[in-house]
Chains A and B, each alone.
Chain A
Amino acid sequence: MSEPLRLFEPTSVEAAVGVLAALGDDAKVVAGATALTLLYRQRLIAPGALVSIGRIPGLDGIEVADGELHLGALVTHRAVELSPVVRSAIPVVASTFGKVANVRVRNAATVGGVLAESDYASDPPALFLALDAVVDVQGPGGRRSIPVAEFFIAFYETALAHDELVTGVRVPIPPAGTGAVYHKFVTRSSEDRPCVGVAGLVRLDADGTVADLRVAVGAAAETPQRYRDAEALALGQRLDPDVIARIADAYADRVDTLDDMRGSAWYRTEMVRVWVRRAIESAAATAPAP
């Protein structure tokens, strides 16, 4: 028989981080367990210890402060989806979390979990990237904040050290007049993971030219992708079909698309082209008139 699995249930972030620091890579953090159980059952991980953080108080808050939406690490996807605070502050965050998997997974899977797992085929990471969100983490040395743009490193790999815990994420509330969408393109059933997911934000100036445009593509490569120079092609321009096509082409050219059962690399590249265009178009259509 293999070594028995140890279960730790710390009741503070400091204690959880202490256990992680002491046990190193042998310990895995578990919250809603939807990802961990899958990885464990498929024998992709074989931890000697689980650190269950579900009993830590204070990590399940949803609030708006200083122009930012704060989501605690233990907030479930379903709570984000249904929260009046989220729906009012940044509606696209609520609707995007509502597109993840099915109601059962959304009732268990957490905000901290979807960040820390860094599964390329999740929906929220691309949206968080487009929204310039910041991940708050805590380790033995204290707290630090990591912009989402620097958080996702590779498949199942983040900027987190093994003894750091995600405590929450802060999402700056876009200025009034911003239109924002997340398009989830699935190639099989409606509850499947995305083949390609595209988050788009558009804000127009009073003269109808683009003041801000952001595009992040998820599920197409190892990590969500965003190209500021491609976004900048639209700045100060009218959002006509040529400009949109140039941005869509830039993303299609640059995303290093991967092959999986939801689509080949070639197909993904073409779908990036299509869905970046549609995301920009529908974000612009959603934006209130300046």
Chain B
Amino acid sequence: MTADDTVAGVTARPIDTDGRISISLRVNGREEALRVRPHHTLLEVLRNELGLTGPREGCGVGMCGACTVLVDGRPVSGCLLPAALAEGHDLLTIEGMEGPNGELHPIQQAYVDHTGFQCSYCTPGFILTSKALLAELPDATRDEARAYLAGNLCRCGSYVKILDSVMDAKERLRGQGG
């Protein structure tokens, strides 16, 4: 199985006897060496191999946003991305949001202060998507935030308070000079 598997001049990733390949992922600023099956999703690998349980499986088909991971700052569905394809990119989960002394990120604090959640299952996805939104549109209007966050579902229905949180987070980030 470890024999060189070359087809038309292209060598496949070496596969170990247990069907796994070696990959390295840069997660929350740390380089992680991992052994995964090529079909393992980023969500599965983050949770099961790295113990990062912030990204969660909701729908499993890319519609709910509970598994949101920022890839080079852009939100993607961890449930739809094979982990091997995330190599070479900067990955951020909710675990990487806090400051060096464990203080909450201003967006996180805004969600806490406005109670922008009930059961909190969807919250990591909402906060990461909010971060991408405010990086892209620092002056986002409530309507722009609503459109950007339309693909994140909250089955508790906390949308009003979530949008309150995002609008307040915008002001807090502005107060920080970005």
A contacts, CB < 8 Å to B: 1, 4-10, 15-16, 18-19, 21-23, 30, 33-34, 37-38, 40-41, 49-50, 52, 54, 78, 101-105, 107-108, 190-191
| Cβ–Cβ contact B74 & A78, under 8 A | yes
Given A34-B80, A37-B79, the answer on whether A104 and B10 have CB atoms closer than 8 Å is: no
B39 at interface (Cβ–Cβ under 8 A)? yes
| A7: contacting residue among B41, B65, B84, CB under 8 A | B84
B8 at interface (Cβ–Cβ under 8 A)? yes
| Cβ–Cβ contact A4 & B62, under 8 A | no
| A15, chain B: closest CB distance, angstroms | 5
| Cβ–Cβ contact A6 & B68, under 8 A | no
| Cβ–Cβ contact B82 & A104, under 8 A | no
Task: Find chain B residues with CB under 8 A from A4 CB.
Answer: 1, 15, 19, 37-38
| B21: contacting residue among A7, A18, A102, CB under 8 A | A7
B160 at interface (Cβ–Cβ under 8 A)? no
| B82: contacting residue among A22, A33, A190, A191, CB under 8 A | A33
| Cβ–Cβ contact B80 & A33, under 8 A | yes
B contacts, CB < 8 Å to A: 1, 5, 7-13, 15, 19, 21, 37-39, 41, 60-63, 65, 68, 71, 74-77, 79-82, 84-85, 129, 132, 148, 150-152
| Cβ–Cβ contact A104 & B9, under 8 A | no
Task: Find chain B residues with CB under 8 A from A50 CB.
Answer: 38, 82
Quick one: which of A1, A8, A15, A22 has the most chain B CB within 10 A?
A: A8
Quick one: which of B13, B62, B63, B81 has the most chain A CB within 10 A?
A: B62
Whole-angstrom distance between the alpha carbons of A21 and B10 in the complex? 12
- For B64, the closest partner residue in chain A by CB is A102
Given A105-B62, A107-B76, the answer on whether A15 and B81 have CB atoms closer than 8 Å is: no
- For A190, the closest partner residue in chain B by CB is B150
Task: Find chain B residues with CB under 8 A from A102 CB.
Answer: 62-63, 65, 150-152
| B82, chain A: closest CB distance, angstroms | 6
Task: Find chain A residues with CB under 8 A from B8 CB.
Answer: 15, 18-19, 21-22
| Cβ–Cβ contact A103 & B10, under 8 A | no
| Cβ–Cβ contact A6 & B62, under 8 A | no
| A87, chain B: closest CB distance, angstroms | 16
Task: Find chain B residues with CB under 8 A from A41 CB.
Answer: 60
- For A98, the closest partner residue in chain B by CB is B147
| A43, chain B: closest CB distance, angstroms | 11
| B76: contacting residue among A1, A18, A108, A190, CB under 8 A | A108
Listed A/B pairs (6) with beta-carbon separation below 8 Å: A37-B39, A49-B12, A102-B152, A104-B68, A104-B77, A105-B80
| Cβ–Cβ contact A7 & B38, under 8 A | yes
| Cβ–Cβ contact B62 & A54, under 8 A | no
- For B128, the closest partner residue in chain A by CB is A104
- For B78, the closest partner residue in chain A by CB is A104
| Cβ–Cβ contact A5 & B39, under 8 A | yes
| Cβ–Cβ contact A1 & B19, under 8 A | yes
Whole-angstrom distance between the alpha carbons of A101 and B10 in the complex? 34
Whole-angstrom distance between the alpha carbons of A79 and B52 in the complex? 29
| A169, chain B: closest CB distance, angstroms | 22
| Cβ–Cβ contact B151 & A33, under 8 A | no
| B159, chain A: closest CB distance, angstroms | 12
Task: Find chain A residues with CB under 8 A from B68 CB.
Answer: 104
Task: Find chain B residues with CB under 8 A from A7 CB.
Answer: 12-13, 21, 38, 84
Whole-angstrom distance between the alpha carbons of A275 and B99 in the complex? 51
Task: Find chain A residues with CB under 8 A from B77 CB.
Answer: 34, 104-105, 108
Task: Find chain B residues with CB under 8 A from A10 CB.
Answer: 10
Given A6-B12, A18-B9, A34-B77, the answer on whether A104 and B62 have CB atoms closer than 8 Å is: yes
- For A49, the closest partner residue in chain B by CB is B12
| Cβ–Cβ contact B75 & A101, under 8 A | no
- For A54, the closest partner residue in chain B by CB is B85
